[in-house]
Structure 1
C-alpha cells in the first residue's frame, strides 16, 4: 500500500506540474482548472489513496463498476462524476452516487435523470456532451449531441426539476475534421460554451482534455480536465 501511495503521489505531482505549466503558458491562474481523476477499472483502495493525497473529484464511466466503489467510499470527501454513455435503465443507480453526469446527450435521458433526482431528493449537475464529429445534428459514435442540438437540450436540462445545467463536455474526436487536432476541437467547444452562456450564464463548466491532451484543453480554456492513466497508470489489461 505504501508503494502504491508513493507511485500515485509521484504521478499526481507530475500531472499537477503539467496543469500548472499549461495554465502559466495560457496566462491563466492555476485555480481556473480543476483536475478530475478518472478511476475507472481501479479499485476503491486507489480512490482512498487519492482522497488522502488531496484529490476531491473522481470520475467513472460504467455504473456496474462505479456503484459498488462509490458505496465503499461514502465516508470520503469526494464528488463523483459519471462520464460514460448512460443507458436510461442505469439512471436510478447513477443518481444514487453521482454528483455530476457529464454525458447528457438526449432528451429521454434528461427526463429519466430528472425523475430519479427528484425521487432521491438530490440536485444533479449535468453537462451536455458535445460530439464534434457528428456533423450538425446526429449523435456521435461515442455519444454526444451535435453542436446544433445543444441549445434545445440545454433548455430541457435547465427547466427539469432536480437538475442543474453545469456546462459542456467533449472527448477529442478520433475521426472527421478534428481528428488529430485536439486544440482546434477544444477551441470549438469554447465557442459553443460562449454561445450557451448567453442563454444560461451559470453554465460555466467546460470539461475537456485527458492524459494525452490536457495541455491543449487548458490552452483552449477548459475549466476541468479528466485524467486517468497519467495518474493511475496504464489500465489493467490494456498492456
Structure 2
C-alpha cells in the first residue's frame, strides 16, 4: 500500500509553504481527500493519518464505503454531477455538495434534507443540520463540463439562498487544463458575490485546486482544495 502518512504530510508541508509565501494562515485551507475508486480499507487508513474530510464522485460507491466506515467520524462531500433521482440519498448521506449548478437540483436537495435519519443509515451525520452547498461554475465555458456560466451565478445565489435546509457556502470550479488564470477570475467572481451577499460571513468557501495545481489555487484565494492523486497515488483497478 502507498505510504499514505508520508503522502499526506508532504501535501500538508506544501500547503504550509505556499501559505507562508502568500502570507496566509495554513488553517485557512481545508484539505479534501478525493477518495473515488479507493477502497474502504484505504479510506480507513487515510483517516488514521488524521484526515477527516473525504469526497466521492459516484453515489453507489460512496454509500457502500459509508456503510463500511460508519464507525468513523468522517465528513463526506459529494463532488460529482448530480442527477435528479440521486438527490434524496445525497441530501441524506452527505455534509457537503460541491456540484450544484441548477436551481432544480438545489430545490430537491432542500426538500430531501428533511428526510428523517434512521439509526441504521449509512453515516452518522445529523440531517437536521443544513446541507452545505457550493455552486459549480463553468469558469472556462467548456461544453464538456457542468456548471453555471459566470454571469448566471448572482441570480442562482439569490434563488438558492432563499431555500430552507441548505447553507450556501461558495463556489467550486474545475478549470480547463493549464488555465491557471481561471483561479484569479473565479476569485473576482467570488468576491463580487460576497460584496452583495445578504450573509457575507457564510459565503466563505472557494473550492478550487487539485493535485496538479493547488499551489496556484491557494495563491489566488482557494479555501478548500480537492486532492486525490497526491494523497493516494495513481488510481488503478486494484484500488476498487
- Listed as ranges, the matches of 1:162-181 within 5 Å are 162-174=165-177, 180-181=178-179
Aligned to 2:188: 191
Say which of 1, 12, 24 aligns to 1:16: 12
Please say which of residues 57-66 and 72-81 is displaced more in the overlay. Answer: 72-81
Aligned residue number for residue 236 of structure 2: 236
TM-score (norm 1): 0.89
User: Which contiguous aligned blocks of 4+ residues in structure 1 show a shift greater than 3 angstroms?
Assistant: none
Alignment counterpart, residue 81 of structure 2, candidates 80, 85, 96: 85
Once residues 237 and 52 of structure 1 are traced to their aligned partners in structure 2, the CA distance between those partners, rounded to angstroms, is 23
State the match for 1:204 in structure 2. 204
CA shift digits 1:172-217 (9 cap, x unpaired): 224xxxxx221x1111111111011123302110000000001000
Shift of 1:237: 4.2
Structure 1 partner of 2:134: 127
Return the alpha-carbon distance in structure 2 between the equivalents of residues 64 and 218 of structure 1. Answer: 31
Aligned match of 1:151: 154
- Is 1:56 paired with 2:52? yes
Residue 226 of structure 1 pairs with residue 223 of structure 2 = no
Alpha-carbon separation, structure 2, partners of 1:88 and 1:122: 21
Q: How far apart in 1 are the matches of 2:67 and 2:130?
A: 19
- Corresponding residue pairs, total: 224
Tell me if 1:75 matches 2:71: yes
* Distance across 2 between alignment mates of 1:102 and 1:191: 19
Q: What 5-or-longer segments of structure 2 have no aligned partner? A: 117-127
113-122 or 142-151, larger mean C-alpha shift: 113-122
RMSD: 1.5
Cross-structure match for 1:39: 35
SS in 2 for 1:168: strand
**2:139 touches 2:182 (CA, 8 Å); kept in 1?**
yes
8 Å Cα contact 1:103-1:129 kept in structure 2: yes
Cα distance between partner residues in 2 of 1:112 and 1:34: 27
Once the two structures are TM-superposed, the CA of residue 140 in structure 1 deviates from its matched residue by 4.7
Q: Distance in 2 between matches of 1:199 and 1:75?
A: 41
How far has the Cα of 1:45 moved from its partner? Answer: 1.1
| Unaligned segments of structure 1, at least 5 residues | 175-179
